Amino acid sequence: MIVQVGILMGSDSDLGVMREASKALEELGIGCEIHVMSAHRTPDDVATYVRAAADRGIRVLIAGAGGAAHLPGVIAAHTTLPVIGVPIASSSMTLGGLDALLAIVQMPSGVPVATVTINGARNAGLLAAQIIATSDEAVRTRLQEMRVKMAESVRAKDRAIQEA
Ligand code: RP5
């Protein structure tokens, strides 16, 4: 499968949350790769990876980070690929992810990061798929089918409540 999405995270402690992004992409038949790279601990690796990403066929980058959470913004500084930021409620931090959300969402004008909610990695994966779907009919169809299934599951829940 061609790799079209790069999923980066600042620490392996983010992996449990960020797996939800790769799962969503897998459900939609979109290839992705996952890397641990830190804006602070391995800044050169981040720059090297991101600068080469578009030429390697990557179309969207997803970046998860907790605490100071500079990774999504640093990535966006090195590329014009769309970057989706996932604030992580990190187990080793004490502010519950609001710190990361506020850090990621406040990008300066000119260098955007699309920010999902705290631990919202599934929506990051789906948003990446929707970006790819603007030029990929097969992905668009799979997204539409996913929405139909989601609506059916909500109606089933409503029926269960009515019958209880
Ligand atoms: C951030 O610091 C990472 O994204 C992670 O959420 C947080 C804590 O990292 P570890 O100390 O668990 O490696 O850079």
pLDDT bucket at 116, cuts 50 / 70 / 90: very high
Per-residue pLDDT tens digits for 37-65: 999 999 999 999 999 999 999 999 999 99
Which residue's alpha carbon is nearest to atom 2 within ligand 1?
66
Give me the domain span that covers residue 72. Answer: 3-136
pTM as predicted: 0.97
CATH number assigned to the domain comprising residue 117: 3.40.50.1970
In-domain check, residue 161: no
Q: Which atom of ligand 1 is nearest to the CA of 70?
A: 14
Non-local CB neighbours of 11 within 8 Å, separated by 6+ positions:
36, 38, 66, 90
What span, in angstroms and rounded, lies between the C-alpha atoms of 137 and 143? Answer: 10
Per-residue pLDDT tens digits for 132-157: 999 999 999 999 999 999 999 999 99
Residue 94 is predicted with a pLDDT of 85
Instruction: Determine the distance from the C-alpha atom of residue 74 to the mean position of all C-alpha atoms in its chain, rounded to a whole number.
Output: 15
User: Into how many domains does the chain fold?
Assistant: 1
Residues touching ligand 1 (Cβ under 6 Å) are 9-11, 13-14, 38, 65-67, 88, 90, 92
**Mean local confidence (pLDDT), 123-135:** 98
